[in-house]
Amino acid sequence: MALLNQVGTALASSLELDEIMNKTLALLMAYFKVEAGEIFLREEDDTLRLVLHRGEAAEAFWTRNRYKLGEGMVGQAAQTKQPVVSNHLEKDARVTRQAVVKAGFRQIVCIPLPAHAEIVGVLTIATRSKKAISKNELDLLVSVAAGAGTAIENARLHSNLRRVTILEERERIGMDLH
């Protein structure tokens, strides 16, 4: 409950995309005591682009920063709209970044970030721990991701609204000058 409250407060406190993503990922990493976390956002061409990495072994995670829908664990989570969990990365054929395995990571959890009926991205957490994530912990991650997905979509809409407002104002000034 404390995590949900903290994340809810963080998500409601800003309409800035970077701030929302950083706060959410920092809170999740601290709560779950994981060494790395990432957020991939869905682009207009339906690819998922890595926009934020926090934690250890950044160079290993950045070896692959784009996925197509259905590709790898990240793409699979986005396509199926379901969490994808690997508790044994070294044996998982879906692993597309071998540098992450070489950096000692054993587990990755990829959670889709939903907004309305669409997926706006995927949140991942990774750990070197042998302890598998529990069903309750996975449910908690899914709940947090649902709120984060909506907050990300709201931040994007707010940013687009600001751009449109500026363009309309420029057009109005241009008409006045004409």
pLDDT tens digits, residue range 65-120?
A: 999 999 999 999 999 999 999 999 999 989 999 999 999 999 999 999 999 889 99
What CA–CA distances, in Å, run from 106 to 35, 95, 103? Answer: 11, 11, 9
**Sign of the four-CA dihedral 80, 4, 52, 45:** positive
Please indicate whether residue 16 or residue 140 has the higher confidence score (pLDDT). Answer: 140
pLDDT greater than 90 at residue 18: no
pLDDT of residue 9: 75
Amino acid at 10: A
Confidence of residue 157 (pLDDT cuts 50, 70, 90): low
What burial letters (b/e) apply to 152-170, b meaning 16+ CB within 10 Å? bbbbeeeeeeeeeeeeeee
Closest CA to 82 of 10, 40, 39, 138: 138
Taking the C-alpha atoms of residue 110 and residue 78, their distance in angstroms, rounded to an integer, is 9
What CA–CA distances, in Å, run from 132 to 41, 86, 135? Answer: 26, 9, 10
Work out the mean pLDDT of the chain and round it to a whole number.
Answer: 88
Calculate mean pLDDT across residues 146-156: 78
pLDDT of residue 14: 67
The answer to whether the CB of 120 falls within 8 A of the CB of 147 is no
pLDDT greater than 90 at residue 2: no
Strands ordered across the beta sheet of 36-42: 66-68, 47-55, 36-42, 118-127, 107-115, 84-86
pLDDT of residue 117: 82
Q: Which residue has the tokens 């931040």?
A: 155
The answer to whether the CB of 84 falls within 8 A of the CB of 77 is yes
The pTM (predicted TM-score) of the whole model is 0.80
